[in-house]
A and B are shown apart, each in its own frame.
Chain A
Amino acid sequence: MSAPLIEMRGITKSFGAVKANETVDLSVAPGEILGLLGENGAGKTTLMNVLFGAYAPDAGEILVEGRPVAIHSSADALAAGIGMVHQHFHLAPRLTVLENLLIGIPGKSGRIDRSGGLARLKEIGRRHGLSLAPDLPVSALSVGEQQRLEIIKALFRGAKLLILDEPTAVLAPSEVDGLFAALRSMVGQGLGIIFISHKLNEVRALTHRCVVLRHGKVAGRVDHPASTTSAEMAKLMCGHEIAPPAKGASTPGASVLTLDGISTVGHGGTPLREVSLVVRAGEILGIAGVSGNGQRALADVISGMLPPKTGTMTIAGKAVAQFSPRELQALGLGRIPEDRMTTGLVTNLPLADSMVLPRIGTEAFSRKGLLDPAAIRAFAEEQIKAYDIRCPGPMARAGALSGGNLQKALLARELAFDPKVLIVSQPTRGLDIGAARFIHEKFLAMRAKGCGIIVIGEDLEELLMLSDRIAVMYEGCIAGTLSGADATVARLGLMMTGAEGHA
């Protein structure tokens, strides 16, 4: 048997008292896609950072094609043939595709080797079906194209093993198919891939073998992912069975949020064109659509970040006048942003500060311009307990929390004030099954209490599970609305491409 492309033996890595990885063994053969599964905090990212040279392991060794290697930096990793595509891309937006590829690659006598780079780019395009226009600036690329550029970048540097950290989290369903085709072609030519994901259906469709981590240790290995059920894998990840949340029948009441003829201008993304929507009390309205069809503008208008050019909006029967976050909040709107880290929280300040931020000027947390530190702390402590937010305490830096716990904190800060309407974007993006389930249950509980919820998302299965109705956005318009009973992935998919309209 030939030596595996890469082998990690007995990797152990501690941060203080926390063992992030404990005697983890893992190997990838040429031509193999290995799934790396685990909940947030299970140690996947640490393990991959060890492999890519960002952390030095406390114990254990790494073998590349049977030879032990020492990897102390990303440069060492690249030299050993290991490439990594991070969740957050590392690209220079003002430079072109080709320039990004050539960063850090020594040229000929101080000059950039443009023609050599072009030739390699072409060759990669031919061999793996991954092509991009070389002279396009990165800022003009879509998220999917930027990801493709990251993959090309790794191949460009001669990677034989590619690590992909949750690559599908940022992609639309159609782009996922393209990515998978490219990955399959790459392993067909003898490359190895480590695929990190929370989405079990994707893991089952793509990978040849899986390693499941839990609490830093290997909790199990799956040799035939395609014939293993998602429930079995989820059980390995969490250590216990996970039942789907019970969704009771809903009897929608009066409308709590209406948008009438809302259009927007400017603002970068796709603008809204004459969007009208109604969300009723006790109802979850899902908004589906391929990323970049106006969902961002819709979320920004409803949450007070972008005043519309024309159109009116009402919350609980009252017309919105200024479209400012404060006004909307006062009318009873709860808001959870798409990007937790940049829009939701202040990572460098204590968690408690982020939890009271939108309501700092209200009686609850201050009097006459003076903060009430005791009330702020008490509120944070109460919510941390109620939502089981795992953190060292309310004064710990928000940035130290995992994604799932951050999302719980954002949910807590809104739900504590009993909103009449709740707007959320990508509520469970990047969250593990346990955390996602918790969020879903909270939404359903709010729905039962009569809150109207609008969920903007790209995960169709999640939308189908939660929504009473689903509206599909296409090029800034509502292409159609389906009742939860009528909606299927296939039908939504058609409407998302603009092929089918349905009022």
Chain B
Amino acid sequence: MFRLEARTSTPAWFNLALPLLAIAVALVLCSGLIAVAGAGVIEAYGVMLSASLGDSYAITETLVRAAPMIFTGLAVAIAFRAKFWNIGAEGQLLAGAVASCAVGAIPMPGYLAMLLMALAGAAAGAVVALVPATLRVKFKVDDVVSSLLLNSVIYYALMALIEGPWKDTFSGYPLSPPIEDSANFPVLIEGTRLHLGVVVALIAAPLCWFLIARTTLGFRIRVTGENPEAARYGGINVQRVLLSTALLSGALAGLAGVGEVGGVHFQVMSDISPGYGYSGIVVAMLARLNPLGVVPAAIFLAAVMTGAEAMSRATGVPAFLSDVIQGTALLAMLVALLFTAYRIRRVGASA
């Protein structure tokens, strides 16, 4: 018989071991699905690995896909640190994409355009995130529900835009007008899609870590998240901290949209995000809300997504498997988090 016992402390190596364990469990569980689909498990995972990380081009593709999830992962990690339950990174990403696309379509010098696109996208994401945060602070509306539902509102607003005013009159497709060529983010390695936004994402992670670990705002975010009552007693304006966190979180998610417009699609369409906002939640949980952990977690999910497409082509296993791996990894991680608070103990057979 086994039972759970409360732990007094959590060993530091758990921060690394638990996500790896969760990923391993997810891959093992999903191998059953691969077998059901009639493919060899080793072969399928082998194709996934080589297509996502097997050569330098594959690695750049994986990084390009990881960039938006680094941003949304950071957005969620920072929000969750304050226990502002921002499930709305998807909508904030879309708002950031729309705003940056609108700015990018205005003719102006390239670097100015990129800067303004980033600012506009971050601001749009921040404003969207402010809605559920304000509702919570002023009216005690549950932020999980409001931020989640807002995603649909933003999505359909985007659809209305590209089906209406922004519709491509020439082709009739629901696509926004493209941004100016000069506003396209520079590509760093010739022949790949590795754009400037990817580097910005990689730099954003340590900056966010610094913000959380080394600034008074980060301190207030951590304390407010862990114990708002003690925070208030200690003189922290809890409501202001929540609103600041929402602005930051929304801005980061907005930047994910900016990168997709400026570096990948150069315009806005209905499927500009295959759920990067929701993947951000998985990324943040795998990273245990540590901004530095967000980078490897996002790269892992990106590798699964890129690899799944190749695997699908090679073995016939549906590419949806990547969604299943993502979901299973999140569930496994949530279960694994139990071990930070409890240990399993063997109990002798009952008398």
Interface residues of A, Cβ cutoff 8 Å to B: 15, 55-56, 68-70, 72-73, 76, 303-305, 324-326, 329, 335, 337, 342-349, 353-354, 357-358, 360-361, 366, 369-371, 373, 392, 396-397, 400
- Collect the chain B residues with CB atoms within 8 Å of residue A371's CB: 213-216, 218-219
Which of A348, A361, A373 lies in contact with B226, CB distance below 8 A?
A348
Whether the Cβ atoms of B232 and A347 lie closer than 8 Å is no
Mask, B73-95, CB within 8 Å of A = 1, is 00000000000000000000000
Q: Which residue of A lies closest to B218 (CB)?
A: A371
Residues of B1-27 whose CB lies within 8 A of A: 1, 3, 5, 8-9
Mask, B87-117, CB within 8 Å of A = 1, is 0000000000000000000000000000000
User: Given the interface contacts A344-B230, A373-B214, does A72 sit within 8 Å of B235 by beta carbon?
Assistant: no
| Assembly CA distance A56 to B348 (angstroms) | 9
User: Given the interface contacts A70-B351, A349-B223, does A366 sit within 8 Å of B216 by beta carbon?
Assistant: yes
Which of A329, A349, A400 lies in contact with B235, CB distance below 8 A?
A329
- Collect the chain B residues with CB atoms within 8 Å of residue A357's CB: 223, 230-231, 234, 236
Tally of contact residues, B, Cβ under 8 A = 30
Chain A-chain B contacts (Cβ-Cβ < 8 Å), number: 89
User: Given the interface contacts A353-B219, A369-B216, does A56 sit within 8 Å of B233 by beta carbon?
Assistant: no
Is residue B227 within 8 Å, beta carbon to beta carbon, of the partner chain? yes
| Assembly CA distance A373 to B8 (angstroms) | 25
Is residue B29 within 8 Å, beta carbon to beta carbon, of the partner chain? no
Whether the Cβ atoms of B347 and A303 lie closer than 8 Å is no
Is residue B345 within 8 Å, beta carbon to beta carbon, of the partner chain? yes
Is residue B229 within 8 Å, beta carbon to beta carbon, of the partner chain? yes
- Collect the chain B residues with CB atoms within 8 Å of residue A354's CB: 230
Whether the Cβ atoms of A349 and B226 lie closer than 8 Å is yes
Whether the Cβ atoms of A349 and B222 lie closer than 8 Å is yes
Whether the Cβ atoms of A400 and B9 lie closer than 8 Å is yes
| Assembly CA distance A140 to B214 (angstroms) | 45
Q: Shortest distance in angstroms between B133's beta carbon and chain A's nearest beta carbon?
A: 21
Q: Shortest distance in angstroms between B245's beta carbon and chain A's nearest beta carbon?
A: 15
- Collect the chain A residues with CB atoms within 8 Å of residue B193's CB: none
- Collect the chain B residues with CB atoms within 8 Å of residue A349's CB: 222-223, 226
- Collect the chain A residues with CB atoms within 8 Å of residue B232's CB: 305, 325
A-B contact pairs, 22 of them (CB 8 A): A56-B345, A70-B348, A72-B1, A303-B233, A325-B234, A325-B235, A337-B233, A342-B230, A343-B230, A343-B233, A345-B227, A346-B226, A347-B227, A349-B222, A349-B226, A357-B230, A357-B236, A360-B216, A360-B234, A369-B216, A370-B215, A396-B9
| Assembly CA distance A73 to B350 (angstroms) | 11
Interface residues of B, Cβ cutoff 8 Å to A: 1, 3, 5, 8-9, 213-220, 222-223, 226-227, 229-236, 345, 347-348, 350-351
| Assembly CA distance A88 to B345 (angstroms) | 25
| Assembly CA distance A305 to B234 (angstroms) | 10
User: Given the interface contacts A346-B227, A348-B226, does A72 sit within 8 Å of B234 by beta carbon?
Assistant: no
Whether the Cβ atoms of A342 and B227 lie closer than 8 Å is yes
Whether the Cβ atoms of A305 and B233 lie closer than 8 Å is yes
Whether the Cβ atoms of B345 and A69 lie closer than 8 Å is no
Q: Shortest distance in angstroms between B301's beta carbon and chain A's nearest beta carbon?
A: 27
User: Given the interface contacts A346-B227, A353-B222, does A397 sit within 8 Å of B9 by beta carbon?
Assistant: yes
| Assembly CA distance A392 to B9 (angstroms) | 11
User: Given the interface contacts A56-B345, A70-B350, does A345 sit within 8 Å of B216 by beta carbon?
Assistant: no
User: Given the interface contacts A56-B345, A72-B347, A325-B235, does A360 sit within 8 Å of B226 by beta carbon?
Assistant: no
Most buried by A among B1, B217, B235: B235
- Collect the chain B residues with CB atoms within 8 Å of residue A15's CB: 8
| Assembly CA distance A55 to B4 (angstroms) | 9
| Assembly CA distance A361 to B235 (angstroms) | 10
| Assembly CA distance A76 to B235 (angstroms) | 46
Q: Which residue of A lies closest to B210 (CB)?
A: A370
| Assembly CA distance A9 to B306 (angstroms) | 62
- Collect the chain A residues with CB atoms within 8 Å of residue B213's CB: 371
| Assembly CA distance A76 to B233 (angstroms) | 41
Whether the Cβ atoms of B5 and A55 lie closer than 8 Å is yes
| Assembly CA distance A345 to B218 (angstroms) | 17
| Assembly CA distance A370 to B219 (angstroms) | 10
Q: Shortest distance in angstroms between A383's beta carbon and chain B's nearest beta carbon?
A: 16
- Collect the chain A residues with CB atoms within 8 Å of residue B217's CB: 369
| Assembly CA distance A433 to B213 (angstroms) | 38
Q: Which residue of A lies closest to B233 (CB)?
A: A343
| Assembly CA distance A366 to B214 (angstroms) | 9
Q: Shortest distance in angstroms between B7's beta carbon and chain A's nearest beta carbon?
A: 10
Q: Which residue of A lies closest to B223 (CB)?
A: A346
Whether the Cβ atoms of B233 and A353 lie closer than 8 Å is no
Whether the Cβ atoms of A358 and B235 lie closer than 8 Å is yes
Q: Which residue of A lies closest to B349 (CB)?
A: A70
Q: Shortest distance in angstroms between A127's beta carbon and chain B's nearest beta carbon?
A: 32
**3 nearest CB pairs, A to B:** A325-B235, A357-B234, A326-B235
Most buried by A among B233, B234, B348: B234
